[in-house]
Structures are given as structure tokens and as C-alpha cells.
Amino acid sequence: EAGVAQSPRYKIIEKRQSVAFWCNPISGHATLYWYQQILGQGPKLLIQFQNNGVVDDSQLPKDRFSAERLKGVDSTLKIQPAKLEDSAVYLCASSLGPNTEAFFGQGTRLTVV
Amino acid sequence: QQQVKQSPQSLIVQKGGIPIINCAYENTAFDYFPWYQQFPGKGPALLIAIRPDVSEKKEGRFTISFNKSAKQFSLHIMDSQPGDSATYFCAAARGGSQGNLIFGKGTKLSVKP
């Protein structure tokens, strides 16, 4: 079974530029999560989707971050404009439902210079 | 406020030793306590998890001990191997969720041959 696919694997941008990350969850998984993992820290949840609806975006910096899952399958996370402190690994995870095990992708490493 | 506190930050043991990683939590509403293992360049992977109605759970060489009254739980790795060298994260969730997680800061484990 294919795992959670994320692209790109690495991205370097200048501050104030915009960037987008893409996630394709495991087939059939209705729940999708985006996490931010700053170097040396544990992942922090940014947003949780159930199908194409947002369940929890309480920790998403909405002035610069946005995410969508229009058809309830793949998802994109966008940052506009990026700040230096956004440098992190952005992890996507998916699960069959909110009360089942979440599987993580390999992440996208973002460096803002 | 850090809701899940993990210690130590790093740990070095000899092959065959029993590393112990500890976590403490604040919110008594948490009802799911997983441990994740993360290798460099990879996403976290679920290792073992426990719910608060159980005081201990074993899966292979990995054991979770849970102390509800003290609001603490720990991971023990029996007969540790160099391949266990990784970063370990404890986490917590509530409301039956297994993917909407609050992570600790992580423990970098190194098992020397």
C-alpha cells in the first residue's frame, strides 16, 4: 500500500515570497492533517480536514497560511508571504477517520532565507 | 504553555541497555498517549500507544508504563539495538482522536554498538 506522498521534498525561498506544498493521502483516508516541525521540536498541528471540511485550524496562522482539500483527496498548504521563522519541515498525515492511526509522509523541508 | 513535557532531551546507551524516556501531561481530558519514532529525513511512525484505563502495554521490545494519578507515562526499550537510534516523541490526544496530537519536544536516542 502506498504511503502518504508529499512534494516537493525540499524548497528554498526568500522571505516575503510565497510557497505551496502538496499532499496526497493514503487511498481511502478521509482525515488529513498538516503539521509543522521546527528543527529540534515535536510536530505541531496546523490544520485537520475531514473529507473536504476543516475540523481544526486553531493553530494555523491564518494571516499567512492557507490550506485546502477541495475534492476531499489531495491537499495543498500555502504560505504567503513567508517569514524566516517559517523554516521547518511540513508534514502531512492521513487516517481512515479521526479516531484511527495517523500515518505521516516524509515531509517537505522549507528553508526561508 | 507546554502541555506535554518530555525528558531527557538526549540519551546515549550501550547495546542491550534499557533506555527510558519520560513524559508528563497537564490536561486530564487526554485519552490517547502514543509514542512515535522518527529517523532523519523521515516522518514520524507510530511505535506503541496506550489509553488511560491501562497501566502498562508491551509490544515486542517496547513497553509503555502509564501513571494516571501522576499524569506521567514512559517508554522503555528492552535489549536496545543500534537500529533503535532515532528521535522518539511522546504525544497526547483527546476526544478519541488518534491524529490530532500534541507532541513533546522529542528525545534523541543513540545506541552504541
Q: Judge whether A45 is closer than 8 Å to chain B, CB to CB.
A: yes
pLDDT digits (tens, 9 = 90+) for B36-55: 999 999 999 999 999 999 99
8 A C-beta contact, residue A110 and residue A86: yes
Q: Which residue of A has its CA nearest to B44?
A: A104
Residues 6 or more apart whose CB falls under 8 angstroms from that of B33 comprise B23, B25, B49, B50, B51, B52, B64, B66, B73, B90, B91, B92
Closest CA to A82 of A68, A64, A66, A58: A64
Distances (CA, A) of A97 to A48, A80, A92, B36: 11, 30, 15, 19
* pLDDT attached to residue B1: 60
Q: Judge whether B78 is closer than 8 Å to chain A, CB to CB.
A: no
Closest CA to A46 of A108, A96, A92, A11: A92
* pLDDT attached to residue A56: 95
Q: How many residues does chain A have?
A: 113
Tens of each residue's pLDDT in chain A, 113 residues: 689 999 999 999 999 999 999 999 999 999 999 999 999 999 999 999 999 999 999 999 999 999 999 888 999 999 999 999 999 999 999 999 999 999 999 999 999 99
Q: Judge whether B102 is closer than 8 Å to chain A, CB to CB.
A: yes
Q: Which residue of A has its CA nearest to B91?
A: A42
Q: Which residue of A has its CA nearest to B5?
A: A42
Residues 6 or more apart whose CB falls under 8 angstroms from that of B23 comprise B4, B5, B6, B7, B33, B72, B73, B74, B90, B104
In the block, cell 508529499 appears at A6
